[in-house]
Structures are given as C-alpha cells and as structure tokens.
C-alpha cells in the first residue's frame, strides 16, 4: 500500500515489535487498549475508544482495504445478522451517525440514497423498520414482484470510508500496525477482539462461519437509487450505486470458504442485475471480488475477565451487516470498557 494512503497512515508494518507492551495506566497516561482487527468493526471501536480518551492501538493481519469490510456493498441494510432486536438497535444508532456524516463530512464517503427492497410476496414490515425514518410500501413494484419497502439509506463507499476512519483514529492519537496473532495476546490490560471470521480460530469459536459473497463492480452510468431482492436466500440480487462505480451482487453461500471469484457466478450475477435494472445493460465491468461474511447465530459482543485480571471485549460475528451495525456496536464496546477501566 502506498505510504501516503490514509489507510496506512500511522501504520507500521514492522510485525512483532509493533505490539504494545505497556500495561495500563502509567504515570497518569490513559490506559492502553489493543484492538485486534482493522475492518469496519475494529476501526469504529478504535475511533470511539480514542474519542473516549483511551490510548488505542489497532493491530491487524490485513490492513483496511484488504479486509472483508472493503468488499461490503456497503448499504445500510440489516441482513444475515442476529439477534433481531439487538441488530435493530445497533443499526438504528449507526443510521443516525451515517446521516450526520453524509450531511457534515462529505470526505467520509457516505451518501444518503433512496432505494427499494423488493419482495415476491406481501409481508409485514421488516424487524428493523423502526430504525428507518419514512419506511413506506412500494406502490408499483416491477413485474414479478408483489411489493416491498422503499426508504432512504446510507450508502458507504468503503474505498473512501475505511481510509477516513484510519485518518480519524490517527488524528485522535491512535495507531494502526500490521500484525497477525496466533492467539489472543496477553500484552495489554484491555484487548478488543474484532477479528471477524478469524475469531473462529483465534477464540476457538466454531459457531462463526463464512457466508461467501461474490460481487462485481461496473462503471457508474448515472444511477442514484439502490435496489435489493433477497427472495432467493442463496442468490440475493442487489445494485448499489457508489461515488465512482456501482456494486452489483451477489451470492450468500454459507460454509463456502472459496476466496477466488467464479466466472460463471459473475455472469449470473450480472444477468440477474440487468433484468432488475435495465440501465446496467451496457455498463462496463470494472472488477470482481469475494468476501466471506463473518456469520454467527448471535453477534458476540461481551466482556470477559481473564484469569490474570485483564479484560477482553469480544465484538465479532456481524454477518452481512457489519457496516450497518458498526457505530451501535462501537458505542457498546466503549460502555463495556468504561465499566471496567476508567479513561
């Protein structure tokens, strides 16, 4: 990654010697916190902890633009994450933060866009309906659909947003370094575990499984509205216009660890998207990518005291909605840390 890229600003790639070894408050300095993971969850937690006055260091095997978070579409849309009531509350908090960013901080890469979730049968409003202002039924669905829901949602261009989060963190005095842990470290009094899918191995948690997502990018052809059809659970169709391109998806293949795009899948994704959004017919394909959504039957967000009286806060398993829930989860991580360690 280029040295002047904000996603590596404040980052070292020196490996082992980058691990903080200072144990907590010393000489009046704020307690040191080690955050594992530089996806949207780790970075959002790190930013909120730094804002709360902690001395925050993010250590990650993959830097932000190399993570699953960078592959996310990333539409505010609670999808393949549980439990519903908590997902809804975390998502509602994030919605408000993203609206604030879209209004006041264009450099963060967040825009509010109108769009539609289309359904093939009539049904009640989604479980997260209260998180969205002005959710309304789709009055004239396209052929083949029974209805759906229309609303304004934040669209987060991760290629801009993740570097912006890093910049925010380093402005607050935090750091980001590349480091791969073989096990949870015991070198800091507080560790926040945001390892995503890799928490499966790092914490020995077999309930975290991949839900593979393949997407492609096409050129921006002037599209402003997003659309989602998840009536086929394995083959959701979504089209999300970003600042300079359009994300077209996708797949949701549970238990599939393949990280390479499958060409025949790309063809199927494009065909389904073009049926739904005819404006894409001649849009040039710019690239394709795969991400493994870190799904868990319940997001794990809890504090654990270790035998040697350190604190580990786990925050992983956000499935298909990590961006959507990020700020709500980050606030809760800060509350858990504060309950144990004052800044």
Ligand X SMILES: Cc1cc2nc3c(=O)[nH]c(=O)nc-3n(C[C@H](O)[C@H](O)[C@H](O)COP(=O)(O)OP(=O)(O)OC[C@H]3O[C@@H](n4cnc5c(N)ncnc54)[C@H](O)[C@@H]3O)c2cc1C
Nearer to ligand X, 54 or 181 (CB): 181
Query: What DSSP line would sit under 266-299, residue for residue?
Result: HHHHHHHHHHH-GGGTTPPEEEEEEEEEEEEEEE
The reply, when asked if residue 320 is annotated as ligand binding, is: yes
The reply, when asked if residue 322 is annotated as ligand binding, is: yes
The reply, when asked if residue 238 is annotated as ligand binding, is: yes
Query: Interface with ligand X by CB under 6 A: which residues?
Result: 36-42, 59-62, 67-69, 71-75, 77, 179-181, 194-198, 202, 213, 215, 249-250, 291, 293-294, 316, 318-324
The reply, when asked if residue 68 is annotated as ligand binding, is: yes
Cα–Cα distance for residue pair 184/192, rounded to 1 Å: 10
The reply, when asked if residue 255 is annotated as ligand binding, is: no
The reply, when asked if residue 69 is annotated as ligand binding, is: yes
Shortest distance (Å) from residue 307 CB to ligand X: 21
Nearer to ligand X, 32 or 318 (CB): 318
Kindly give the residue spans of alpha helices, DSSP state H, lying in the chain.
40-51, 68-71, 84-104, 158-171, 199-202, 263-276, 322-340
Shortest distance (Å) from residue 241 CB to ligand X: 12
Shortest distance (Å) from residue 188 CB to ligand X: 14
Shortest distance (Å) from residue 91 CB to ligand X: 8
Strands (E), 5-72: 11-12, 32-36, 55-60
Cα–Cα distance for residue pair 243/165, rounded to 1 Å: 17
Nearer to ligand X, 150 or 230 (CB): 230
Q: How far is CA 302 from CA 175, 176, 242, 330, in A?
A: 24, 23, 34, 12
Nearer to ligand X, 27 or 233 (CB): 233
Shortest distance (Å) from residue 193 CB to ligand X: 9
Nearer to ligand X, 62 or 331 (CB): 62
Shortest distance (Å) from residue 143 CB to ligand X: 25
Cα–Cα distance for residue pair 206/47, rounded to 1 Å: 29
The reply, when asked if residue 227 is annotated as ligand binding, is: no
Cα–Cα distance for residue pair 7/18, rounded to 1 Å: 17
Cα–Cα distance for residue pair 221/181, rounded to 1 Å: 43
With b meaning 16 or more CB within 10 Å and e meaning fewer, what string describes 302-337?
Answer: ebeeeeeebbbbbbbbbbbbbbbbbbbbbbbbbebb
Nearer to ligand X, 62 or 219 (CB): 62
Shortest distance (Å) from residue 297 CB to ligand X: 15
Q: How far is CA 41 from CA 257, 277, 315, in A?
A: 21, 31, 8
Q: What is the DSSP letter of 212?
A: E
Looking up tokens 């700020």 gives 327
Nearer to ligand X, 25 or 266 (CB): 266
The reply, when asked if residue 323 is annotated as ligand binding, is: yes
Q: Of 335, 301, 338, which is closest to residue 318 (Cα–Cα)? A: 301
| Binding-site residue set for D-dopa | 238, 293, 320
| Binding-site residue set | 68-69, 73-75, 238, 293, 319-324
| Binding-site residue set for FAD | 68-69, 73-75, 319-324
């Amino acid at each position: 990654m280029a040295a002047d890229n904000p996603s590596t600003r404040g980052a070292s790639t020196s490996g082992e010697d980058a691990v903080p070894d200072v144990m907590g408050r010393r000489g009046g300095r704020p307690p040191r916190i080690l955050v594992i993971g530089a996806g949207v969850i780790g970075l959002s937690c790190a930013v909120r902890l730094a804002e709360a006055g902690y001395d925050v260091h993010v250590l990650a095997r993959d830097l932000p633009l190399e993570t699953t978070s960078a592959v996310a579409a990333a539409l505010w849309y609670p999808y393949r994450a549980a439990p519903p009531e908590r997902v809804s509350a975390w998502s509602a908090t994030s919605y408000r933060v993203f609206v604030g960013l879209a209004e006041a901080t264009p450099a963060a890469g967040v825009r509010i866009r109108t769009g539609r979730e289309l359904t093939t049968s009539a049904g009640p409003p989604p479980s997260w309906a209260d998180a969205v202002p002005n959710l309304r039924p789709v009055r004239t669905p396209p052929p083949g659909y029974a209805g759906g829901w229309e609303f304004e949602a934040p669209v987060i261009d991760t290629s801009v947003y993740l570097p912006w989060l890093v910049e925010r963190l380093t402005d607050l005095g935090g750091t980001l370094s590349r480091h791969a842990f073989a096990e949870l470290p015991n070198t800091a009094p507080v560790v926040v575990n945001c390892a995503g899918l890799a928490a499966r191995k790092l914490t020995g948690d077999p309930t975290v499984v991949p839900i593979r997502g393949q997407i492609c990018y096409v050129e921006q052809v002037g599209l402003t509205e997003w659309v989602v059809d998840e009536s086929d659970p394995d083959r959701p169709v979504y089209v999300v216009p970003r600042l300079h391109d359009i994300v077209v998806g996708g797949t949701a293949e549970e238990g599939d660890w393949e990280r390479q795009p499958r060409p025949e899948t790309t063809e199927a994704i494009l065909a389904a998207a073009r049926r739904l959004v005819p404006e894409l017919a001649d849009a040039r394909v710019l690239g394709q990518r795969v991400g493994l959504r870190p799904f868990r039957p319940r997001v794990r967000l809890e504090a654990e005291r270790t035998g040697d009286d350190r604190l580990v806060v786990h925050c992983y398993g956000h499935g298909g909605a990590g961006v959507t829930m990020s700020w709500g989860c980050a606030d809760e991580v800060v509350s858990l840390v504060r309950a144990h360690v004052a800044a």
